[in-house]
Amino acid sequence: MEGIIHFIEEILEYVVTFGAIALELIGIYVMLDAGFRGFKRWLKREEDGPRLEEGILEALEFMMCGEVLKTVTANNMNDYIALGAIIVLRFALAFEVQWEMKNKVWHRERSMKEKGSAEEK
């Protein structure tokens, strides 16, 4: 019976490790894609299109999902502390990016209102 449990634990560890790596690779791809698209938009001086911040947020969600998945196979308290610190840092970064996005939208709407009221005069 112990042999079966050990075998299942090993399979679980491989699946979780592979899944976490796959999710982190997807996050890296999403972030690189957002960076290249943002760079292209910057070169063309375009205002519309996918925002760099949105790509970063999506990438961070994939990466945090991979970190949460790693908690399944954490063996000791040091693993939990390291994973917790990574999750907190990524969450803080996601929060900051989202806050920046809201401020940009607010400033953009405000400047459009000011332009509209200036044109009416």
pLDDT per residue of the chain (121 residues) written in tens, 0 to 9: 888 999 998 999 999 999 999 999 999 999 999 999 888 888 888 776 567 888 888 898 898 889 888 888 888 888 888 888 888 888 888 888 888 777 776 666 666 666 666 665 5
The DSSP code sequence of 22-86 is: HHHHHHHHHHHHHHHHHHHHHHHT--SS--HHHHHHHHHHHHHHHHHHHGGG--SHHHHHHHHHH
Phi, psi of 50 (to 5 degrees): -65, 135
Q: What is the pLDDT of residue 71?
A: 83
pLDDT tens sequence across 5-24: 999 989 999 999 999 999 99
Q: What is the pLDDT of residue 120?
A: 59
Answer whether 66's CB lies under 8 Å from 21's CB: yes
